[in-house]
Each structure stands twice: as C-alpha cells, then as structure tokens.
C-alpha cells in the first residue's frame, strides 16, 4: 500500500465561472440553498497565469455553501474583461467538467419541487446502471447539474437539496485518467464500468451517443476537519466512443463561464506535491512556492492552494485551509494549523457558520421531506 502522507477532507467547492456574479449567486441561493458566505473577495488572480492568458486578471469571487451537506460553489466573475461563452454547445463526452453532481435526500421530491418552481428540468428521474434514480437540471446560464440521492447529511435546514457531490467529467481515455481520480484523489472503488447507450443520459446534449461510463467512489471515506459538512462524493468518468470530443475550455480562459475546476480540501500540501509529481501529475500552480511558504490571503480566509491537470487538461484544485471565518461579526476566525487534521471540528463550531448565511429572494424551502 502506498503511503500518501496527505488527507483529503472532501470536495470543498465546484468552481463556476459566470457572466454576472450577483445574478448567478442569487439563483444558486434560491435553487440550491447556497446561502452561507464563507468569503467574498475582489482582487487580481495573479498566480493563475498559465490559464489566464499569461497576465493577471481582475475578478470577483464568492465561496458559498449549503450547510445541510456537500461542497460549495466558488462563483467567479471576470471584471477586467468580457466573460467569453463557448462558441458551441457542450455535449456529453466533451473533455472537462460536463456536470456538477448535487445531492438530495429524495430524488422524486426534488424533481417535483424544481418542476413546480420554474427550474429547467431535463426529463424525469431514471435509473443509472447501478439502479439509482437521478435527473438533470440546467441553470439559466447553461450549466448542467446532475441530481442524485445521498444519505450523509450534516444539518436539517429544510432545504430541498444539499451541495456539490461530485462531477461528470469527460475524458479521452478512461484508464489513463484513473491515475489521478482513483489514485491521487482516492476514488478507488468502481461502482460500475459499462459501455453502451444509456436512457438516463438521453435528456442531455449529446446523450444519445455511445459511451464508456465509470462511476468511482472512495473505498475509505474522506475525513478531517470540515468533512462532516462536505460529506462523501463520487466521480463519474464518461468517454465518448462514437465521436471525437472537443475540449470544453478550448480557446477560453479560466474563469470564463462554465465549470472551471473541482476543488478538494486537503491537509499536507508538501506530501501531496511530492505524491502528485511522482505520479506524473505535477502542480501547475502552487501558491506555497510562489509565496515562499506563506499563506495566500483570500480576504476573509487564508491558506495554500495548488492546481493539477488531468490527462485532458481538466483542472483539479487543492486547498489547505489555514484561516477560516466562523463568526465574522465577532471577529472569530479559526486557525486550522493548530488542530489535528485527522479529527473533525466540533459540530457546534461548524454549525456556527450559519451566522454567515445571507438572505436571497424566495430562498429555497422544502415542500415535502425534511432536509
């Protein structure tokens, strides 16, 4: 067994590039309950030069979560340039993050709720190859979300959904991609690996094609400081068999509209850097070396961050959190470096994040099962 020397606590957030942050975040509050603001910052992205055309880019970003469970969203808007949409429709199997998986307790109840509340729902709940019901919704900005059932929950806030639960990622070679997703990220249990045409994918663009689908889950549950909120997650790799896929972000910059990265909360950045390099996935961006070991200031939070690419260029981010606001109004910030990284934070402390919730118009509420 390989000794990795780092801890993954779970998916911290899905990066979502948008044209208008305020409009998008308001919709994500209303539809997905993303009303807990962890940080909000306007600054220049100076370290992402390989992905921002070789120059710093002004941006406005907010990290928001749904405290019921799951990862959050980092909603990201370019400020110094016009955000650039893709010039063609993104189809299933195209290379990159095709869809963000979102967790719910009751798939049928969620379908009914969103259908009755003006969310664009694609098709009806259908069983995947493992027999689990799911369906897709599309936000007003063209992003697809895969709605799936889950059983691990942190709080009951009477919302219809939790947060991000993983992703559908288009790859050109499933076996080659496993070096990152199975080994480095720890999704080493194959739930299914099947090639064919799938009824549960027929509602999405390009979903009538022939694909190899591999659903991955961790054999050892993620753990650590904020894991009780993040929970567990899955990754689904989709490889187009009957057509040549295109890169979702080909010719565009990081931060342009779409799913820009998938971010994991980790501890042990030095060991992770070595492990990724040895596995053939070196850090492409590394705030730790850029700041000579000092924390990177993200306004209301601080820590290290780094990026690697999967074999098709999809960006995976790692964040080692050092400072995080618990109750900002009282000036209460938590220094994660003083804690045992294997142990979860006290439940009362994590629940204190609810004091950072913001009010959205027509905030999401459940109309059936209590979540």
Confidence (pLDDT) at 27: 98
- List the single range of 178-187, 296-305, 310-319 with lowest mean pLDDT: 296-305
Domains of the chain from N-terminus onward: 13-51+70-356 (3.10.180.10)
Predicted TM-score (pTM) of the model is 0.92
Give the count of beta carbons closer than 10 Å to the beta carbon of residue 282: 13
Q: How many whole angstroms separate alpha carbon 128 and alpha carbon 119?
A: 22
118-158 pLDDT tens trace: 999 999 999 999 999 999 999 999 999 999 999 999 999 99
Q: Examine the pLDDT at 345 and tell me if it is beyond 90.
A: no
- Contacts for 198 with CB less than 8 Å, ≥ 6 apart: 128, 129, 207, 211, 213
Task: Tell me the residue ranges of DSSP E strands in 295-370.
Answer: 296-297, 302-309, 315-327, 332-335
Confidence (pLDDT) at 354: 87
Q: What is the pLDDT of the chain when averaged over all its residues?
A: 91
Q: How many whole angstroms separate alpha carbon 217 and alpha carbon 252?
A: 31
């Amino acid at each position: 067994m390989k000794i990795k020397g780092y801890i993954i606590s779970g998916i911290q957030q899905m990066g979502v590039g948008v044209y208008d942050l305020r409009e998008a975040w308001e919709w994500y509050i209303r539809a997905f309950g993303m009303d807990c603001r962890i940080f909000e910052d306007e600054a220049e992205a100076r370290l992402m030069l390989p992905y921002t055309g070789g120059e710093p880019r002004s941006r406005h970003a907010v990290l928001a979560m749904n405290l019921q469970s799951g990862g959050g969203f980092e909603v990201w808007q370019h400020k110094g340039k016009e955000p650039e949409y893709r010039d063609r429709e993104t189809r299933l199997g195209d290379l990159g993050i095709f869809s963000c998986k979102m967790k719910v307790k009751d798939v049928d109840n969620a379908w009914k709720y969103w259908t009755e509340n003006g969310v664009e729902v694609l098709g009806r709940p259908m069983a995947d190859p493992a027999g689990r019901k799911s369906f897709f919704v599309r936000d007003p900005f063209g992003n697809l979300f895969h709605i799936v059932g889950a059983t691990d929950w942190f709080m009951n806030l009477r919302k219809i959904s939790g947060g991000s639960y993983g992703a559908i990622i288009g790859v050109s070679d499933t076996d080659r991609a496993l070096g990152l997703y199975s080994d480095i990220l720890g999704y080493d249990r194959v739930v299914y690996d099947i090639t064919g045409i799938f009824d549960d994918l027929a509602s999405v663009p390009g979903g009538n094609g022939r694909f190899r689908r591999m659903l991955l889950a961790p054999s050892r549950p993620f753990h650590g400081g904020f894991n009780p909120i993040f929970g567990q997650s899955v990754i689904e790799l989709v490889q187009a068999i009957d057509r040549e896929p295109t890169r979702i972000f080909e010719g565009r910059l990081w931060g342009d509209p779409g799913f820009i990265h998938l971010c994991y909360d980790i501890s042990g950045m030095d060991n992770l850097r070595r492990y990724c390099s040895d596995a053939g996935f070196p850090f492409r961006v590394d705030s730790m070396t850029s700041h000579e070991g000092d924390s990177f200031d993200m306004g209301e939070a601080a820590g290290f961050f780094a990026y690697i690419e999967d074999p098709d260029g999809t960006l995976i981010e790692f964040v080692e959190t050092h400072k995080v606001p618990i109750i900002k109004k009282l000036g209460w910030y938590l220094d994660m470096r003083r804690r045992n990284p294997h142990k979860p934070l006290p439940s009362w402390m994590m629940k204190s994040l609810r004091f950072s919730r913001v009010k959205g118009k027509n905030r999401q509420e459940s109309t059936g099962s209590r979540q």
